[in-house]
Structure 1
């Protein structure tokens, strides 16, 4: 891993890591303030917002990243079209959630449907923040992206802790903090004002049609990917009840810690591979990220039987088996995640989309089959099956189209550990300077 890539990954890890860390810091406070059922209601109230912010982007942030990383640029009329489209899909999301909320909140507390709709209104500005993030990523401004995410996590901690100390941490205030933090953090992108891509002499503007075409291909995968990761939190409430959703929400918070590393590497690889293709670098990234995520999962989950009841309360002990299965689902999907980023960077995002769509369909079917008898464990097993299918389909497509082999993604080599150790040492040296 080169020095520049290690630095970019470090910044991305900082950015991707802070919001989950903030979630972990505030999760025990929420668990004790809201109890198991209330924690389930909070997950249900905010799940449509989380889904909509990713689904309603139409893949346009990824398209902008791809364009700018290739040292091309977009005309002003294209930017206006992008913003108008996101505003339109944001408003459509609010209407859809408002209509569906009575069904989605069956088994929840009274007033949950209204709160769900109010929370989804934050989708509209949230989509614009996503577009700004895609712009910064395309310009390799990882420090700005990290700033936004650190600010997001800081606002969450400040809000939850502040309301808790004031004795006002309720379902309503917790929901507001959850959805407004990501929006207010978007002010970090004021640093984009005046920023321009480094253009080669032969650079040409990318047309609106080409940008939207790429975005549509990437969007299918984004939709399915978010559904694969988050639709369970929409369906567990009507299928298994608020208590099971409360346990599942805590388990997911814990099990997704390894995603910090995976998400950081995937983002940097997408941007860098769009600028310059390198099979050896992509394969090393997949293997090294898998090793790092596996080690992270072991460190966090090996003592979970001791620390989770202590931190969250004995009533949340049922989240332990869910967290173990969910963490396995995260780790097995790592190689395919990097393969999917490679496909998207090289102009074939639709192949990644096909993989995730198949996995998502399987996941939904398994949710209806497994959640009623097994609760949160059933939902975690459904996610595990979906991640296995999606990951290996992405790898198969990458092998077929870009001269990779299965060994590039799965055969761990001694040199991988050495590369990972060197990258870690380099990051520690920079952090201490």
Structure 2
């Protein structure tokens, strides 16, 4: 991999980075709320239901998310990429055709799979299947709005409104002492209805706010665009399913091979991983359209600066979480109940892998925005195969810990391999001065300092509170001193 020194910012690249900062800040804030709401849902389910019933809930929602990933057909990336490409090339008369090409197959595939699951899936997944078309079209519509550089619908609807409604609905069931997993599953999936309606409205407004097409594309132009769209999106479609399988299929394998109790422990122990993934998505969704435009215009300097700045911010936000849960895993798991304390090794394994993953930044998205969707497909498929093979071998003897080892190995493959690829093929990498500074500061404040305090004062709640206060104070001071290196000046 070729490491290139970051060039001095040009006015154009500075504007890119400033726009990225605005979107990234909003994305991280929305992702923080969504992650906190997700942890709240997990806590309520774990407390309100028994371990076995909680396992059934987690398995059903994981199956629904996996099915939704299948029927999205990769359009979350394809629509952003092609709408950005058409706008940069001033081919605005093809925007409407691009939307029809991307959204129509999603609606058909989601409806067909929902009908199949209604008849063959076990409860409560069969009832969740009715909402599958809503979830798929909601995600695809929000992706299309991002192709217009409109990030607010994604942040407000996907990151704020839906998690808030899920948390409130499940909280109401917990307060009412309802103990049926199906009721909790229905409360979790119900918010997809209003979000889908509002997402469609947001996309319609984005389309109508753009330039009026001077003409409708002819049939030949439409067919040519459709072929190019799916030639790009097809590999990404399979890759997105494999990527989602990396996040969800392990819970299903643990439930099948280790039982619902082990699945509940594994789902709870790994819940913190979602917080890091949401932060990554929050920044990535801000970067996507800008990065696609920069790479389409051949501006590798701007692309490299955006990639490095975004990775530094991602490390700054996520590494404190992963380092703290390594040291204080018993306190974290104890919040959900004593039955989940056995998940301590799971936390350590997954948090260590996530430190590497977030240090690489949104590398798979960089690869996709450069048009290398086939490479992305190969990487994700290899990672998924490794995870499934390790899960099948390790879950029977080791339970949830075996699944954690499988996922950690897959995460490392799915980040290190594309990191080498983007370095060699594109000449970009995430290791700017800001990334190195953020990593060193996080390790010192949330790695070394809490470990010293844990060795002297233990890992109880009081020791955790003391460690958080001291580490946070040192972290804020360090961030302020290195604000220029961390590119935080662009947030102004």
TM-score, normalisation: structure 2:
0.77
Question: Structure 1's 134 and 406: CA in aligned 2 closer, same or farther, altered over 3 A?
Answer: closer
Counterpart residue number, 1:213 = 231
2:267 maps to 249
Task: Tell me if structure 2 keeps the 8 A contact 1:94–1:121.
Answer: yes
What is residue 191 of structure 1 aligned with on the other side? Answer: 202
Change (3 A) 1:95 1:414: closer
How do 1:77-156 residues align onto structure 2 when only pairs under 5 Å count?
77-94=97-114, 97=117, 101=121, 113-148=122-157, 149-156=159-166
Matching residue of 2:306: 281
1:62-73 alignment runs, 5 A limit: 62-70=77-85, 71=87, 72-73=91-92
1:23 deviation in Å? Answer: 1.5
Compute the displacement of 1:376 (Å): 0.9
- 8 Å CA contact 2:58–2:264 kept in 1: the answer is yes
Deviation digits for residues 257-302 of structure 1 (CA, Å, limit 9, x no counterpart)? 2223222222222221101132232134334423432123224553
The 1:124–1:200 alpha-carbon spacing in structure 2 relative to 1, beyond 3 Å, is closer
Query: Is the contact made by 1:255 and 1:324 (CA closer than 8 Å) also made in structure 2?
Result: no
Matches within 5 A, 1:11-410: 11-70=26-85, 71=87, 72-73=91-92, 74-94=94-114, 97=117, 101=121, 113-148=122-157, 149-189=159-199, 190-196=201-207, 207-277=225-295, 278-309=303-334, 311-336=335-360, 338-404=362-428
Secondary structure at the residue paired with 1:167?
A: coil
1:178-216, Cα deviation, whole Å (9 max, x unpaired): 222234323332233332476799999782222222211
Aligned equivalents of 1:133, 1:383: Cα separation in 2 = 28
Conservation of the 8 A alpha-carbon contact between 1:335 and 1:391: no
Count of equivalent residues: 416
Please list the CA deviations of residues 198-239 of structure 1 after superposition, one character each: whole Å capped at 9, or x if unmatched: 679999978222222221122122111111111101111110
Structure 1 alignment gaps of length 5 or more: 102-112
Distance 1:199 1:421, change over 3 A: farther
Secondary structure of the equivalent of 1:412?
helix
Distance 2:423 2:214 in 1: 31
Contact 1:257–1:297, Cα closer than 8 Å, also in 2: no
Secondary structure of the corresponding residue to residue 400 of structure 1: helix
How far the C-alpha of 1:408 sits from its partner, in A, is 5.9
In structure 2, relative to structure 1, the CA distance for the partners of 1:396 and 1:35 (3 Å cut) is same
Q: How far is 1:359 from its partner?
A: 0.6
Q: Is the 8 A contact 2:255 2:262 kept in 1?
A: yes
Question: 2:147, 2:406 → 1: CA distance?
Answer: 34
CA distance in 1, matches of 2:278, 2:389: 28
| Cα distance in structure 2, aligned partners of 1:410 and 1:422 | 4
SS at match of 1:347: coil
Q: Which moved more, 1:10-19 or 1:88-97?
A: 88-97
* Alignment CA distance shift 1:193-1:169 (3 Å): farther
Aligned-residue offset at 1:77: 4.6
Q: Which has the larger radius of gyration?
A: 2
What is the RMSD computed on CA atoms of the aligned residues? 3.0
Partners of 1:6 and 1:406 in 2: CA distance: 16
Tell me, yes or no, if the aligned pair for 1:90 and 1:123 is still in contact at 8 Å. Answer: yes
Deviation at 1:51, TM superposition (A): 0.6
Q: Distance in 1 between matches of 2:312 and 2:438?
A: 11
Report deviation, 1:143: 1.5
Change (3 A) 1:410 1:242: farther
Distance, in Å, in 2 between the alignment partners of 1:180 and 1:329 is 33
Q: Secondary structure at the match of 2:363?
A: helix
Q: Taking structure 1 as reference, are residues 387 and 307 closer, same or farther at Cα in structure 2, changes over 3 Å only?
A: closer
Task: Give the drift of 1:422.
Answer: 5.5
TM-score, normalization by structure 1: 0.87
CA distance in 1, matches of 2:32, 2:276: 9
Q: Is the 8 A contact 2:145 2:202 kept in 1?
A: no
Q: Give the C-alpha shift of residue 152 in structure 1.
A: 0.6
Which deviates the most, 199-208 or 124-133? 199-208
Q: Specify whether residues 345 and 23 from structure 1 end up closer, same or farther in structure 2 by C-alpha distance, changes over 3 A only.
A: same
1:146 Cα offset (Å): 0.8
Cα distance change on mapping 1:346 and 1:375 into 2, 3 Å? same
Change beyond 3 A, Cα 1:320–1:255:
farther
